């Protein structure tokens, strides 16, 4: 129970808010209490000053007794003395503490506007003020006002009760607010936790609300994106494995079938040689497929490395031309090379030859007899452009976005003669991108294909 995030967040919020509220309430209570105490003492002094003013206007025995009689009906005690502290009139019996306080006063230092002579309401049973009576400059006596501290304590107790009630209500509202707030925050997190658990179990179809514009919304979008990526990768993996199974099964079927045939005793020598040639072709094709798969595995594991060096580009092309010339002659195709000797590139020669061979191999396979293939290298201001064009059968427009995907073939039922592994262009793209470049294909069905490789100048002109 105590391991739940919502509970931990709620408790943390609760203690923080209660501490802040407690501090604010304490400061507010102290200020209000002091104001009420000052108000009570101020009212007591004002009451004494009022009596003094009355006596200063009419200092007679009747007036003195009238003041005492009036205060006897109140919660206060008035004591009127002569200039030396002898009691003239008192409204209530005088306690010894009052007498002691009256006699301890230094009458010469009492200001005419009166003074508070006892304000220790926590320790003493009363608070007291002194208002001196002066008539025509003559000091005639004092008006002492006394109020029980129980009155002050009662006011403070009432204030404390109010604060306690308000505090309890505030804590209740705080708990409700925190409960709603923590649910508002943690419910999306719990949904995300459930979603990630589903992802770990292989269920990549998770749905989260991504309408929020805060950090939780961004996290939900990230998890949803991860779910979609995992689902896509799962489908791609399944398709890849299915394609690989098919690619491996086809040559193995040829090899096994023709191997069984060549074992016949009545087979003609010419037929046996033809079947053995098919076995060799399929074995070569299978070896090439496995080689490409290993290269792609290295690329996926980031162990595929390239070693750049500065080299004239026509020297990269020469071994390629020598290698494919016999095939061009056999297929009755022509190849035109346009590459000035001044153009240099900082590339991995072996890897880049592999790129060009893969592209030229596709061009040869899909260009009809007496067709033409061209390879042109140009140095632009900020890049190096390499263009390979043919006037072959071309690629349908709807197929173009996928030709660099793994094991993708434009012709799904391609013959052994024109069929490849479906990985050559994928490897070519990986190598070009490892050089910091891009590769794009442009084609029209029946009008040929053009592949353009662009390398940034920063990669070729260091």
What CATH number is attached to the domain comprising 226? Answer: 1.10.287.130
Q: What pLDDT score does 2 carry?
A: 45
CB 411 within 8 A of CB 353: no
Of the listed ranges 172-186, 205-219, 229-243, the least confidently predicted one is 205-219
Q: What pLDDT score does 390 carry?
A: 92
Q: What pLDDT score does 231 carry?
A: 75
**DSSP H/E element including 153:** helix 149-200
Q: Which residue from 42, 256, 253, 35 is spatially nearest to 147, judged by alpha carbons? A: 42
- Say if residue 265 is in the same domain as residue 337: no
From 155, 175, 198, the end of a domain falls on: 155
Q: Please state the rounded mean pLDDT for residues 302-320.
A: 83
CB 296 within 8 A of CB 421: no
- Say if residue 338 is in the same domain as residue 261: no
Of the listed ranges 12-16, 94-98, 405-409, the least confidently predicted one is 405-409
In a domain, 125, yes or no: yes
- Say if residue 328 is in the same domain as residue 288: no
- Say if residue 317 is in the same domain as residue 244: no
Q: Please state the rounded mean pLDDT for residues 234-250.
A: 69
- 437 vs 381, which has greater pLDDT? 437
* Distance of alpha carbon 209 from the chain centroid: 15
pLDDT per residue as tens digits for the range 261-287: 888 888 888 888 888 888 887 787 778
In a domain, 188, yes or no: no
Q: If pLDDT is split at 50, 70 and 90, which confidence band does 208 have?
A: low
- Say if residue 310 is in the same domain as residue 421: yes
In a domain, 386, yes or no: yes
- Say if residue 292 is in the same domain as residue 341: no
- Say if residue 19 is in the same domain as residue 108: yes
In a domain, 186, yes or no: no
Q: Please state the rounded mean pLDDT for residues 82-88.
A: 87
Q: What pLDDT score does 261 carry?
A: 84
From 138, 155, 172, the end of a domain falls on: 155
In a domain, 181, yes or no: no
Q: What pLDDT score does 461 carry?
A: 46
Q: Please state the rounded mean pLDDT for residues 421-436.
A: 82
- Say if residue 378 is in the same domain as residue 408: yes
Average pLDDT over the chain reads 81
Q: If pLDDT is split at 50, 70 and 90, which confidence band does 415 have?
A: very low
Cβ-proximal residues to 163 (8 Å cutoff; 6+ apart), any chain:
25, 28, 29
Count of the separate structural domains present in the chain:
3
Cβ-proximal residues to 307 (8 Å cutoff; 6+ apart), any chain:
348
* Distance of alpha carbon 62 from the chain centroid: 86
In a domain, 70, yes or no: yes
Q: Which residue from 93, 105, 152, 148 is spatially nearest to 130, judged by alpha carbons? A: 105
DSSP assignment, residue 372?
A: E
Helix, strand, coil content of the chain in percent (nearest 5): 55, 15, 25
Q: If pLDDT is split at 50, 70 and 90, which confidence band does 171 have?
A: confident
Of the listed ranges 7-11, 304-308, 377-381, 399-403, the least confidently predicted one is 7-11
DSSP assignment, residue 168?
A: H
In the predicted structure, residue 185 carries a pLDDT above the cut 90: no
- Say if residue 29 is in the same domain as residue 142: yes
DSSP assignment, residue 422?
A: S
For position 14, which CATH number holds?
3.30.450.20
In the predicted structure, residue 417 carries a pLDDT above the cut 60: no
From 139, 155, 171, the end of a domain falls on: 155
pLDDT per residue as tens digits for the range 45-66: 999 999 999 998 888 889 988 9
In a domain, 205, yes or no: no
pLDDT per residue as tens digits for the range 1-35: 445 666 677 777 778 888 888 888 788 878 887 88
In the predicted structure, residue 137 carries a pLDDT above the cut 60: yes
In the predicted structure, residue 420 carries a pLDDT above the cut 60: no
Domain of 136, in residue numbers? 5-155
State the CB neighbour count (10 A cutoff) for residue 70. Answer: 14
In the predicted structure, residue 240 carries a pLDDT above the cut 70: no
Provide Rg for the chain, Cα atoms: 52
CB 94 within 8 A of CB 79: yes
Q: What pLDDT score does 368 carry?
A: 87
- Say if residue 335 is in the same domain as residue 440: yes
- Say if residue 273 is in the same domain as residue 322: no
For position 370, which CATH number holds?
3.30.565.10
Q: How far apart are CA 360 and CA 374, in angstroms?
A: 9
- Say if residue 227 is in the same domain as residue 142: no
In a domain, 98, yes or no: yes
């Amino acid at each position: 129970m105590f391991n739940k995030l919502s509970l931990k967040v709620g408790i943390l919020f609760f203690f923080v808010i209660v501490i802040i509220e407690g501090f604010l309430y304490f400061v507010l209570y102290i200020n209000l209490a002091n104001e009420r105490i000052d108000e009570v003492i101020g009212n007591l002094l004002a009451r004494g000053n009022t009596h003094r003013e009355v006596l200063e206007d009419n200092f007679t025995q009747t007036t003195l007794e009238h003041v005492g009689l009036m205060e006897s009906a109140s919660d206060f005690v008035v004591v009127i003395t002569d200039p030396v502290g002898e009691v003239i009139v008192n409204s209530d019996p005088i306690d010894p503490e009052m007498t002691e306080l009256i006699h301890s006063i230094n009458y010469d230092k009492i200001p005419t506007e009166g003074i508070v002579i006892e304000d220790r309401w926590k320790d003493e049973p009363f608070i007291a003020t002194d208002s001196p009576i002066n008539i025509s400059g003559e000091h005639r006596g004092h008006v002492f006002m006394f109020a029980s501290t129980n009155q002050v304590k009662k006011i403070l107790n009432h204030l404390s009760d109010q604060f306690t009630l308000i505090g309890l209500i505030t804590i209740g509202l705080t708990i409700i607010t925190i409960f709603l707030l923590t649910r508002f925050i943690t419910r999306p997190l719990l949904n995300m936790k459930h979603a990630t658990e589903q992802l770990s179990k292989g269920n990549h179809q998770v749905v989260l609300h991504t309408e929020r514009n805060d950090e939780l919304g961004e996290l939900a979008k990230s998890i949803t994106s991860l779910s979609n990526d995992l689902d896509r990768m799962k489908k791609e993996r399944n398709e890849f494995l299915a394609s690989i199974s098919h690619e491996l099964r086809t040559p193995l079927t040829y090899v096994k079938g023709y191997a069984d045939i060549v074992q016949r005793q009545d087979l003609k020598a010419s037929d046996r040689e033809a079947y053995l040639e098919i076995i060799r072709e399929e074995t070569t094709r299978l070896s090439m497929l496995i080689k490409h798969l290993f290269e792609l595995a290295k690329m996926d594991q980031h162990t595929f490395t390239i070693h750049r060096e500065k080299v004239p580009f026509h020297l990269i092309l020469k071994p390629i031309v020598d290698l494919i010339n016999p095939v061009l002659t056999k297929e009755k195709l022509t190849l035109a090379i346009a590459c000035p000797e001044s153009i240099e590139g900082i590339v991995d020669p072996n890897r880049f030859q592999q790129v060009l061979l893969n592209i030229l191999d596709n061009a040869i396979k899909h260009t009809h007899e007496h067709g033409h293939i061209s390879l042109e290298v140009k140095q632009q201001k900020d890049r190096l452009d390499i263009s390979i064009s043919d006037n072959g059968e071309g690629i349908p427009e709807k197929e173009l976005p996928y030709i660099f995907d793994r094991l993708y073939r434009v012709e799904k039922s391609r013959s052994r003669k024109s069929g490849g592994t479906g990985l050559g262009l994928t490897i070519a793209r990986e190598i070009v991108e490892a050089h910091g470049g891009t590769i794009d294909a442009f084609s029209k069905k029946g009008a040929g294909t053009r592949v353009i490789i662009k390398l940034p100048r920063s990669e070729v002109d260091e």
